[in-house]
Structure 1
Amino acid sequence: MRTLWNHFSTISNIKISPRMRRISAANLISNRNLSTISSTEDPELRDFVGFLESLKNYEKSGVPKGAGTDSDDGFDLGRMKRLMLRLRNPHYKYKVVHVAGTKGKGSTSAFLSNILRAGGYSVGCYSSPHILSIKERISCNGEPVSASTLNDLFYSVKPILEQSIQEENGSLSHFEILTGIAFSLFEKENVDIAVIEAGLGGARDATNVIESSNLAASVITTIGEEHMAALGGSLESIAEAKSGIIKHGRPVVLGGPFLPHIEGILRSKAASVSSSVILASNIGSSSSIKGIINKNGIGLCQSCDIVIQNEKDDQPIVELSDVNLRMLGHHQLQNAVTATCVSLCLRDQGCGRVTDEAIRIGLENTRLLGRSQFLTPKEVETLLLPGATVLLDGAHTKESARALKEMIKKDFPEKRLVFVVAMASDKDHVSFAKELLSGLKPEAVILTEADIGGGKIRSTESSALKESWIKAADELGSRSMEASENKTVLGSLKLAYKILSDDTTSSDSGMVIVTGSLHIVSSVLASLQH
């Protein structure tokens, strides 16, 4: 494997000079959030948010068919390139790690950002969506951009943005303008490296204006069945779309594991542009979860061994024992392994301060809201659910439902469960339900509704969700499942709490699992803010 990393040196002369800072472990906690709730937006950003809301917002309305494909139906990447040119191409002023994938790109980006920060580098991170404020999408050194910094930049480039919108006949979208602002802010903040998450697919995503000259590495975490219509209708077309972020001569780290023919599509694209491939699920396959521990002041963690081996002789390059990950589940171990592989790739390109200890610190101090997140005792009391165990997880695909199910089966096999679920209309509701019901036996499932992007256009009615769960249960022969509806998220939480509390025959207080979308998670967390 050492030979593999040395090979990267021969194809890259990228050097990233650190701007050293004193960074405490506490300051490494990722503050990145996950969804949009306009009622909790920072009032100082009223003009900025109003400007964005005047533009087409596909998160709110849904993405057109084929929009993410590299075809005549795809988004016009040319208009994004023209916008960046008018902004004087700020994204060329620093190195970039570009991250795409159906699932895991947010966690992998957070792990990687914190590893780099632990090594003393100045790091920007662009992600989507968000929970309480749009400023959470653009972070510098682990902190969301301040309202004053964002406003200063917005007002300075607003004439350029208005000119661009006019010259593009109003076709520039909410996401495209925000992406341009993020790239500009990272230049202004003089970051060493930016970790950039693709929004949809890869090839035609607004973030895909990055060139080989400043791309440190591409990362593709997973390929799964999400945004099927927008990305061509098949796993193969999704893989083709996401492979569009692979650039000539630049290494690509694949998370995985992938179906063999899907991996073949990604490798074929890499070979066509002379890009070396690192398969994290292969060289990190000796990594393992040792058990769940409860750390004082932190809460539940999974103790893991992170082992990255040489591809040729299986000798370890990195061996980190007893790494305490704050995000649970085997999928989060895989995301940590993927981020570690990217870190080693960057180390070989000149990031010498990405030491093994920096990797450990970065991994251990990463968390994301809504990813295997347990509410604290104080938080459940705030929600009038004293003594309850409440797990928030934004799973919303068949694959992420499987990851959630496996985590619960492994770590909480005896827990009584009640699910509270809200989903977007463009998700596969039946497959999601079947995945959870095939391995778990909840005492009840409560179907509810949550706004998406600040509106109800993409929300699914609770009655329709209930029909999907009943259908899934019937197909699995699970006749004992109790399914009910409640129009509000808080009302659903209280009903779940009552169901568990009313059973006095069990010493197990049970667990309420809030899932189905990042937006229902947002609704719960926003309630805590209020």
Structure 2
Amino acid sequence: MIRVPSVPIPASFGSLRSGSLADHYNSQIPTRLYCLRQQSRKTMLGYRRFLTSFCNIRNGSGKLLPFLSFSQHRLNSTLTEDPKLHDFLDYLEQLKNYERIGVPKDAGTDSDDGFDLDRMRRLLQRLGNPHSRFKVTAANIIYAFSAISLIFCSPHLLTIRERISLGRSGGPVSVELLRNLFYHIKGSLDLSIEMEGGALTHFEVFTALAFALFSQQGIDVAVIEAGLGGARDATNVLCSTGLAASVITSIGEEHLSALGGSLESIAMAKSGIIKTGRPVVIGGPLQPHIEHIIRSKASSLNSPVLSACDAGIKSITRFFGREAETPYQCCEIHINIQEDIPLFLDLPDVKLRMLGKHQLQNAVTATCAALCLRNEGWRISDVSIQAGLEKTFLPGRGQYLTKKEAETLGLPGVSIVVDGAHTEASAKGLIEIIKMENPDGPLALVVSMASDKDHMAFAMQLLTGRTPNVVILTETSIAGSRFRTVSASDLKEVWFRAATNLGINVLDLGTINQWKTDGFPNVFSGQMKTNHSQVLLIALPNALVGDSMQVADELLRYRTGQKTHLIAVTGSLHIVSSVLLAVSQN
């Protein structure tokens, strides 16, 4: 293991002094800011990325530079949201947002510390109980079938409208529908917020608005994704008569503290979406004692249970292919279940745009849910199920950018995959996707994570599954704030320890608060050429994600001498959002 705490500064980087590379770059900040004022407009445009990457930068003494403390995320939100929604968005901004500040301990458990569902029920009552006027599939899985006319999920990537999809097109709800409904119910929202003493949250108000929209549009059935666990989630206000089916895809250590601190308590929280007499679909595979918790809850409510891991279900991926630039996995799904809920379906040739074994299992789970609805009398044909599976695509989940999109990021010829993985299990899924496209070629990871995740387990999984050549640790705002963002330098230390624990040879290039593309790799030329098997680690806390990707590209090219390689951006949906935003703006 090698660390590089201090390196000499070559002449091409300036001749202020020798010392650490991080100190050198920090010393250049005031000088370059002054120079910006002296340059022509043409030159200043070249500094756009340099200047905007200074959000929350700290100088050598650790002090925050106050004149650069604007919110880059808020600027991004303004650019991506339609101006007609600004009143609505500003209204939501005044409410408590747990996506930004983190969920309190045990808030998702069915206990005295859990969220108050009665508060949500009172809000809906003031809106006329819109959630009682349509059927719901309560789930944490989003797949589109012909019979489903609405989807509600979170979080979003580029626009809050993504959280609501209407109709069979699967597109975000229109600006006009969302804006008009907001103004229509704003009086009731104002009264509720006042009556609840300001306790209503961003998620509760938006969920209530979504339910009101569903009712207004006269939909047949809605797929509602639980935001946190299930038992005390704001969506869990539905009674058994309004529920078509419950779907529990997996039980992992996500939101561990908020859901009781153990897999068992998480299983209990998620089983809270099970309602009396309504069918339950389990995705899995789950540990036997965890599945027993869910089945016991279902049994106590006389709810039939169907497992997507039933012995009568067979699914395989035959091959990985592309149509134009769209990757897919060609799969077979065969369902023949005689017990519990009898189901039959044979799909010998399904092209899934959602990649990886975990997405095939999700497809099987969604298919089982659709067949349950069919057993309940819904008219859902085999053809519509296959069409729904093949049409389904969720941005930011194993998404490969097109060549044109890579070019807009200044990375022509580079393969780029963005994936919101942030748990040990999802990291394993990402590795499977990477191996499909790039089993042994040069690989760089660009990672940013929230502070409340298991960083060590995430790093260990990625390093074990497919050892990268380069790992860039960076920082991205979460819901408009860095409050929940783990620092890039702390994240780098975790990755260094993970590599050490696994016996992986790693070269720690340190933390750089600002980088310079021209000649950047030359600073480390001696160290990087000593051992090509070393994994390069570097923290770039103040770089925009596009800049971090360009650093990854340069280090890969310099280290391997190859022009074709893969860059995977991961760690949260928020860093994925930053990439997709950069693509859309360019």
Amino acid at match of 1:199: G
What SS class does the counterpart of residue 97 from structure 1 fall into? strand
Superimposed CA distance per residue, residues 466-496 of structure 1 (whole angstroms, 9 cap, x where no aligned partner): 0010011011111232100113211110011
1:424 to 1:256, Cα distance in 2 relative to 1, 3 A: same
Structure 1 residue aligned with 2:304: 276
What SS class does the counterpart of residue 447 from structure 1 fall into? strand
CA contact (8 A) 1:202 1:241 kept: yes
Tell whether 2:413 aligns with 1:387.
Answer: yes
Aligned length: 479
How far apart are 1:501 and its partner, in Å? Answer: 2.5
What SS class does the counterpart of residue 139 from structure 1 fall into? strand
Superimposed CA distance per residue, residues 270-297 of structure 1 (whole angstroms, 9 cap, x where no aligned partner): 001110000012256411100101113x
Amino acid at match of 1:521: V
- Select the residue among 175, 193, 204 that pairs with 2:203: 175
How far apart are 1:511 and its partner, in Å? Answer: 0.3
User: C-alpha separation between the residues in 2 aligned to 1:286 and 1:68?
Assistant: 34
Structure 2 residue aligned with 1:306: 333
How far apart are 1:412 and its partner, in Å? Answer: 2.8
User: C-alpha separation between the residues in 2 aligned to 1:96 and 1:314?
Assistant: 19
Amino acid at match of 1:51: Y
Structure 2 residue aligned with 1:193: 221
Identity across matched positions, percent: 53
How far apart are 1:517 and its partner, in Å? Answer: 0.4
My pick for the range that moved more, 402-411 or 252-261, is: 402-411
How far apart are 1:503 and its partner, in Å? Answer: 4.7
Provide TM-score, normalisation by structure 2: 0.80
- Select the residue among 505, 524, 537 that pairs with 1:483: 537
Over aligned residue pairs, what C-alpha RMSD do you find? 1.8
User: C-alpha separation between the residues in 2 aligned to 1:311 and 1:499?
Assistant: 56
Structure 1 residue aligned with 2:33: none
User: C-alpha separation between the residues in 1 aligned to 2:560 and 2:441?
Assistant: 15
User: C-alpha separation between the residues in 1 aligned to 2:220 and 2:136?
Assistant: 9
Structure 2 residue aligned with 1:332: 359
Structure 2 residue aligned with 1:500: 556
Tell whether 2:372 aligns with 1:345.
Answer: yes
Tell whether 2:94 aligns with 1:54.
Answer: yes
User: C-alpha separation between the residues in 2 aligned to 1:168 and 1:283?
Assistant: 50
CA contact (8 A) 2:283 2:308 kept: yes
1:315 to 1:217, Cα distance in 2 relative to 1, 3 A: closer
Structure 2 residue aligned with 1:19: none
User: C-alpha separation between the residues in 2 aligned to 1:96 and 1:46?
Assistant: 30
How far apart are 1:500 and its partner, in Å? Answer: 2.5
Q: Specify which structure has the bigger relative contact order, considering alpha-carbon pairs within 8 angstroms and separated by 6 or more residues.
A: 1
Tell whether 2:130 aligns with 1:86.
Answer: no
How far apart are 1:409 and its partner, in Å? Answer: 3.1
Structure 2 residue aligned with 1:525: 580
Provide TM-score, normalisation by structure 1: 0.88
Superimposed CA distance per residue, residues 152-172 of structure 1 (whole angstroms, 9 cap, x where no aligned partner): 111111110111111111111
My pick for the range that moved more, 266-275 or 129-138, is: 129-138
User: C-alpha separation between the residues in 2 aligned to 1:313 and 1:185?
Assistant: 35
1:443 to 1:401, Cα distance in 2 relative to 1, 3 A: same
Matches of residues 261-300 of structure 1 in structure 2 within 5 Å? 261-283=289-311, 285-296=313-324, 299-300=326-327
- Select the residue among 446, 459, 478 that pairs with 1:420: 446
Structure 2 residue aligned with 1:368: 394
What SS class does the counterpart of residue 363 from structure 1 fall into? helix
How far apart are 1:396 and its partner, in Å? Answer: 0.2
CA contact (8 A) 1:283 1:308 kept: no
1:280 to 1:504, Cα distance in 2 relative to 1, 3 A: closer
Superimposed CA distance per residue, residues 434-486 of structure 1 (whole angstroms, 9 cap, x where no aligned partner): 01111211101000111100111111111011001001101111123210011
Structure 2 residue aligned with 1:359: 385
1:315 to 1:144, Cα distance in 2 relative to 1, 3 A: closer
CA contact (8 A) 2:306 2:340 kept: no
What SS class does the counterpart of residue 465 from structure 2 fall into? coil
User: C-alpha separation between the residues in 2 aligned to 1:180 and 1:131?
Assistant: 21
User: C-alpha separation between the residues in 1 aligned to 2:467 and 2:351?
Assistant: 29
User: C-alpha separation between the residues in 2 aligned to 1:312 and 1:269?
Assistant: 19
CA contact (8 A) 1:284 1:306 kept: no
Structure 2 residue aligned with 1:246: 274
Amino acid at match of 2:302: S
- Select the residue among 106, 109, 112 that pairs with 1:66: 106
How far apart are 1:250 and its partner, in Å? Answer: 0.4
Amino acid at match of 1:384: G
Structure 2 residue aligned with 1:15: none
1:311 to 1:414, Cα distance in 2 relative to 1, 3 A: farther
CA contact (8 A) 1:307 1:316 kept: no
What SS class does the counterpart of residue 500 from structure 1 fall into? helix
Amino acid at match of 1:323: V
User: C-alpha separation between the residues in 2 aligned to 1:434 and 1:227?
Assistant: 19
1:225 to 1:275, Cα distance in 2 relative to 1, 3 A: same
- Select the residue among 38, 41, 45 that pairs with 2:77: 38
- Select the residue among 221, 228, 253 that pairs with 2:249: 221
My pick for the range that moved more, 44-53 or 412-421, is: 412-421
CA contact (8 A) 1:380 1:386 kept: yes
My pick for the range that moved more, 397-406 or 231-240, is: 397-406
CA contact (8 A) 2:438 2:566 kept: no
CA contact (8 A) 2:126 2:188 kept: yes
CA contact (8 A) 1:306 1:321 kept: yes
**Structure 1, gaps ≥5 residues long:** 1-34, 100-104
CA contact (8 A) 2:231 2:270 kept: yes
Following TM superposition, the consecutive aligned residue runs of length 4 or more in structure 1 with deviations greater than 3 angstroms are 311-316, 503-506
User: C-alpha separation between the residues in 2 aligned to 1:38 and 1:377?
Assistant: 26
User: C-alpha separation between the residues in 2 aligned to 1:41 and 1:424?
Assistant: 24
- Select the residue among 454, 465, 468 that pairs with 1:442: 468
User: C-alpha separation between the residues in 2 aligned to 1:311 and 1:512?
Assistant: 46
How far apart are 1:408 and its partner, in Å? Answer: 2.4
